Structure 1
Amino acid sequence: MVINVQAFNATGKDARRIYEELDDFQSRRPIDVISANRPILFLDEPQKMEGGKTLDSLANFKPLAVLRYSATHKTAHNKIHRLDALDAYNQKLVKKIAVRGISVKGLTGTNAYLYLESIEVSTSAPVARVELEIKQSSGIKRVLRKLSRNDNLFDLSNGLEQYRGFVVADINALTNTVSFTNGHELVAGEATGDVSESALRRIQIREAVKAHFEKEQALFAQGVKVLSLFFIDAVSKYRSYDEAGERNGEYAQMFEEEYNHQLAEVMTLEDTPYNRYLKGISTGRTHEGYFSIDKKSKRMVDPVTGKKSTETDDVDAYDLILRKKEQLLKFEEPVRFIFSHSALREGWDNPNVFVICTLKHSDNTISRRQEVGRGLRLSVNQHGDRMDAPATVHQVNVLTVVASESYKDFVTALQRDMSGGLSERPRVADASYFTGKVLKTAAGDVEVTPQLAKQIYKYLLKNDYIDDKDGIADAYHEAKKQGTLAALPPELADHAESVFTLIDTVFSDAKLPLPEDDRKAKTNPLNSNFKKAEFKALWNRINRKAAYTVEFETPELVAKCVKALEAELKVSPMQYTVVAGEQADTATFDAIRQGESFKVTESSTDYHRASAHSAVKYDLIGHLAEETQLTRATVASILQGINKAVFSQYRTNPEDFMRKAARLINEQKATVIVEHIAYDPTGETHTMNIFTQDKQKEDFSKAVKVNHHIYDYVFTDSKNERDFVRELDASTEVVVYAKLPRGFFIPTPVGNYNPDWAIAFQEGKVKHVYFVAETKGSMSSMDLRKIEESKIECARKFFEAITSDQVKYDVVDGYEKLMELVA
């Protein structure tokens, strides 16, 4: 049975039915019937059940056993199982933590306000997003600007004296710093100068909203709704009340201003599902408060110490956040940002909290683990399926904490809290600890004798793998990570794997997972596959450059273009719609305000097929010559060749005629070029630098973690590509492969062409090293645009000219087609 404490811990005149003699129980007391069965009690959050009356009531059940489940036991019991923070993380049962630290640093002798938000890396030099004060006609305002090297803040601020001498000397994307010629340096997330409490909170809110949008953009397509949680210390900072009624408090007002600013940056003109989703949510409805409600005034109030909670009176926010968790997870529910007191109870653990921001002074009684604990559950999608696939669990599930202190300070405090929570783990790697332990081997269990235990200890001591207190040293963890651990002595060598597993049971702070700095751009470094002989051999076969020549007769091109235009050029006439309506019989104020005082009675659509008279004069031949890169004489020959009926469409819609004619001519031009193109090697080659230079910021939501690629991650653009990558990576025939960077291209007359894949197969199994151009969803030439098809045909001729039979080029729609070509 499931029962709550209130059902049995009251006695006397408030006694519950469990202590009464009931007819339904044949005049017996339910507690007697239950206790006679000697039940097993499972207590959830037992630290809340340690009052004297509750403990006495629990004894009335005469339990056979009591199992207590808690992350924060107050009383020591006989522990039979442990799943602490370290185990939960290593088993991928909780989110990964990222931190956006914000530190305030004063500048001696100046009040120059500066806040370094982030550094953006592009193909050119990095730029810094910095907030500074600028003198405007309406006064001095703080504005976000993108700064480049040599920018003078005195000039940018319109002559504010406080910025004299602040000239950008360097922007370092590796260290996330900006330095000025006067010696001052800013680290990302650092605010300097005149930073008030209000300015700090605004920065935090801005960073939280920015982090929210970044996660939302990455997870929306996967059906995961992103929630952000703000902790504040007073209701008045979120909602305030006066004679006029309810209005936004300081933080709610800041939030709406920063939300609208970030929304303007995120929204694009494209008609995408995500853009439609954002347009459908008003700023005022996207945030909600979770606070107690005063029964009389129906206003949000701060918790009152010593009185019963009035949370259940908050019909809207409380029901939404606590009782209707599933509704909050749906995209149809507009609430995405939640404001609450920091003292949320254990029941509040919505899995889709991805951002936590604490807008209050640090409280030493609350640990960092408690602050982040409300957002550590793994997220779910719109179907309620948990996003816990092992390969991507910590790519999807990352909790960003926006702290009011520096990244370093927050991480130090979090590590201290986590380490304290792991106090029961063994920390001393001496002989006495190893003695009596069991090594699990293929031949069976082997008990560690005192002699073997001494050998393990001497091995650790000899190689400096333990410190002065016999704790595991960082050198051991580093050597294990790099695969350079010293060889074990002969007595232990046969059980090497089991010995290292036993050593790993000794805890050290180095085993704690460090939260990542959320501002640092994630990197995708080249790995050891890049240095494999097979990849070098493949690269040496395909890296040659070539020039092309094309020889064809103009009349041939003109004839093809005339034929194509006469067969395919269909210009759309101008369309117009006539809508008729009349005023409604009765018109209310609301109908007029909402634009419903008139109703449509009928509508019709027609086309204007007569000549289009316009004040605009078109240079038809000049426009087509520019779009097709042909001479005016050639374009004129094409237009003279088409019949009058086709050419007369120009008067109906000139813009559409020129656009469609240019496309058809370019397609025929591409066809003629492919038939007559020839490539000749130039003697030059692409260098391997193209794999490291000009790397743009990458979207890791589209990344696939791989083993045989030259980078740790592959970034894909479609499901077909992702499936292809996974099969490539699992193939035993593939030694190494690479998705080629944009710097590797084949010149063609219709634009540079960048192939997709270079793949090296196992020697002996396949006689060729294959170069795969494209992974198309369809192999049908009908589904490829003419220009694209022409580029592919050019690539075929390119590889025929520069490579031997050992390299092949082709187009595939998946791994199966690739292996068919290989075989």
Structure 2
Amino acid sequence: MGTERERRQTLGRGLRLPINQDGDRVYDENINKLTVIASESFEDYARGLQDDIENDVGGGFKFGRIEDIAFARLVDEATDELIGQEASKRIWQNLIDKGYLDEAGDITTKFAPEKEGFSLELPDELEPLRSAITDEMKRYIFKNRVVDARERRTLKYNKRIELNEDFKSLWEKINKKTRYSVEFETDELIARSVEKISNMEAIQPVRLFIDKTEVDINEAGIESGRVLDSKTEAAKIYRSLPDILAYLQRETELTRNTLVEILKRSGRLGEFKTNPQAFMTETARIINRALHEMVVDGIKYEHIDGQYYEMRLFEEKEIEEYMARLYEVQSKDDRTPYDYVSFDSEVEREIAKKLDSNERVKFFCKLPRWFVVPTPLGDYNPDWALVLENDEKLYLVRETKSTHDRDKRRETENKKVDCGRAHFNALGVNYKVATNIQEVLTK
């Protein structure tokens, strides 16, 4: 690739290529992965692409530039509340004072989270937010979006782990494959759906916002001037309506009779004419939410006889990851299967480091992506499995989250965690969500 146009267009076309047989875009990171072979060094390519995008967006946009309110949505663990803009500005100023940001808010070379032993210098009152601040800053690093394949590493399996009796015991407890069954009453589903649809926000008609603006052409270029007129007009009522039952059947997989009953009893069907697509989309979302609530509430898991995850998969299923997302194992007592532990956040990196150095931990591992629990919402991959020795041996499975507040997490995420809990309860394994190392190590 030689020109800026080729660089941008090739990247854009490549990322849009993966679609399934229905023509829907595929976002699976194992499929939608673009490899670029460029006639320039990686550094030049990444820098050129970054400059191209910044020039294309315009308006002073710059990758890596962090605004003073960028941290406002971080959560204070002590109160489970957002820290807000004023606290964000104090954090931003502290990062400038310590040299992690320059005066414009651009990240400096001092911020190097990929280096071993790196830790943000923060005042005592900001210590609880260290991991969250680091993760937020990493989102602004451009090189994490266009990645040099040469920085990938294949994890080396430590075969001696198979001699670890604690690993064997834990694996025998958690390796069982399960299937789930659900029980729910159709009448209850109808009642829940009707209640939720009755309380949904009013469906608004399609509105057209029309501004008449003066344009000024001068030496500086084309600029917008005064707004001469502004008005809003509602679109006319639709005369040809789509098949709402066919749409809802496709989206919910419920019978037409059940859907008809929900729509009739909701008292909101009149709004279908106001904005058909908005009404169908919101109604389908609400019905699916009610359905998922009931499915998870009534879910039961049972072991499938003769079906297990075999220990040999640790060796056969190769794991490849970028160095920036790997923690190098320091312990020499064969307590974890690989020479590196992959992590998705700074919280997970800290947990891996603490598990690696804690003498009470006899075994731990970040569960590989092939280790999944089936759920009605798709496969669920738990985070950690470990063996802890106190007065007795504890065999634990843990899920890492940034907060315990379910309202601050995606609903699908919450439901998968609920299913994971039901699965491990059926196997008699202690499972819970943890936000820090103390909670990971507490029964």
TM more than 0.5:
yes
Map residues 270-669 of structure 1 onto 2, 5 A cutoff: 278-281=52-55, 382-383=107-108, 385=110, 387=112, 391=116, 522-528=153-159, 530-531=161-162, 532-582=164-214, 584=216, 588=218, 590=219, 594-596=221-223, 599-602=225-228, 604=230, 606=232, 608=234, 611-612=237-238, 618-643=242-267, 646-669=268-291
> What is the identity, as a one-letter code, of the residue corresponding to 1:560?
R
Aligned-partner SS, 1:688: coil
Structure 2 residue aligned with 1:337? none
Aligned with residue 41 of structure 2, among 178, 197, 209: 209
Aligned with residue 410 of structure 2, among 769, 785, 799: 785
Aligned-pair CA distance for 1:621? 1.4
* Cα contact 1:580–1:601 (8 A) shared by 2: yes
The answer to whether residue 348 in structure 2 is matched with residue 726 in structure 1 is no
Aligned-partner SS, 1:760: strand
**Alignment partners' CA distance in 1, 2:350 and 2:228:** 51
**Alignment partners' CA distance in 2, 1:629 and 1:602:** 50
Aligned-pair CA distance for 1:744? 1.5
Map residues 24-35 of structure 1 onto 2, 5 A cutoff: none
CA offset digits 1:547-606 (Å, max 9, x no partner): 22222221111111111111235435423222113465xx55x46xx334x633246463
Aligned-pair CA distance for 1:765? 4.0
Aligned-partner SS, 1:744: coil
Aligned-pair CA distance for 1:694? 5.5
Aligned-pair CA distance for 1:714? 2.4
**Alignment partners' CA distance in 2, 1:777 and 1:748:** 22
Structure 2 residue aligned with 1:756? 383
Give aligned-pair identity as a percent. 29
* Cα contact 1:576–1:606 (8 A) shared by 2: yes
Change beyond 3 A, Cα 1:528–1:208: farther
**Alignment partners' CA distance in 1, 2:242 and 2:277:** 9
- Max radius of gyration: which structure? 1
Structure 2 residue aligned with 1:196? none
Map residues 237-252 of structure 1 onto 2, 5 A cutoff: none
CA offset digits 1:399-454 (Å, max 9, x no partner): xxxxxxxxxxxxxxxxxxxxxxxxxxxxxxxxxxxxxxxxxxxxxxxxxxxxxxxx
Structure 1 residue aligned with 2:397? 771
* Cα contact 1:735–1:760 (8 A) shared by 2: yes
Change beyond 3 A, Cα 1:518–1:563: closer
Structure 2 residue aligned with 1:800? 425
Aligned-pair CA distance for 1:812? 1.2
**Alignment partners' CA distance in 2, 1:750 and 1:388:** 34
* Cα contact 1:579–1:600 (8 A) shared by 2: no
* Cα contact 1:690–1:744 (8 A) shared by 2: no
Structure 2 residue aligned with 1:705? 328
> What is the identity, as a one-letter code, of the residue corresponding to 2:116?
A
The answer to whether residue 371 in structure 2 is matched with residue 744 in structure 1 is yes
**Alignment partners' CA distance in 1, 2:320 and 2:228:** 52
The answer to whether residue 300 in structure 2 is matched with residue 678 in structure 1 is yes
Q: TM-score, normalised by structure 1?
A: 0.36
Change beyond 3 A, Cα 1:687–1:619: farther
> What is the identity, as a one-letter code, of the residue corresponding to 1:802?
L
Aligned-partner SS, 1:391: coil
Aligned-partner SS, 2:227: strand
Aligned-pair CA distance for 1:693? 4.9
* Cα contact 1:529–1:736 (8 A) shared by 2: no
**Alignment partners' CA distance in 2, 1:771 and 1:331:** 36
* Cα contact 1:575–1:605 (8 A) shared by 2: no
Change beyond 3 A, Cα 1:658–1:738: farther
Aligned-CA RMSD value: 3.5
**Alignment partners' CA distance in 2, 1:390 and 1:521:** 15
* Cα contact 2:156–2:339 (8 A) shared by 1: yes
**Alignment partners' CA distance in 2, 1:636 and 1:522:** 55
The answer to whether residue 439 in structure 2 is matched with residue 811 in structure 1 is no
> What is the identity, as a one-letter code, of the residue corresponding to 2:403?
S
> What is the identity, as a one-letter code, of the residue corresponding to 1:526?
Y
Gaps of 5+ in 2: 1-13, 15-35, 57-62, 66-101, 119-137, 139-147
Aligned-partner SS, 1:206: coil
> What is the identity, as a one-letter code, of the residue corresponding to 2:225?
K
Number of corresponding residues:
330
Q: TM-score, normalised by structure 2?
A: 0.64
Aligned-partner SS, 1:737: strand
Structure 2 residue aligned with 1:714? 341
Change beyond 3 A, Cα 1:733–1:569: farther
Change beyond 3 A, Cα 1:583–1:552: closer
* Cα contact 2:374–2:380 (8 A) shared by 1: yes
* Cα contact 2:421–2:432 (8 A) shared by 1: yes
Aligned-pair CA distance for 1:652? 2.6
**Alignment partners' CA distance in 2, 1:784 and 1:554:** 28
Aligned-pair CA distance for 1:808? 0.3
Map residues 119-158 of structure 1 onto 2, 5 A cutoff: none
* Cα contact 2:175–2:308 (8 A) shared by 1: yes
CA offset digits 1:494-543 (Å, max 9, x no partner): xxxxxxxxxxxxxxxxxxxxxxx985952112225642221221111001
Aligned-pair CA distance for 1:728? 2.4
The answer to which of 621-630 and 575-584 deviates more is 575-584
Structure 1 residue aligned with 2:121? none
Aligned-pair CA distance for 1:810? 0.9
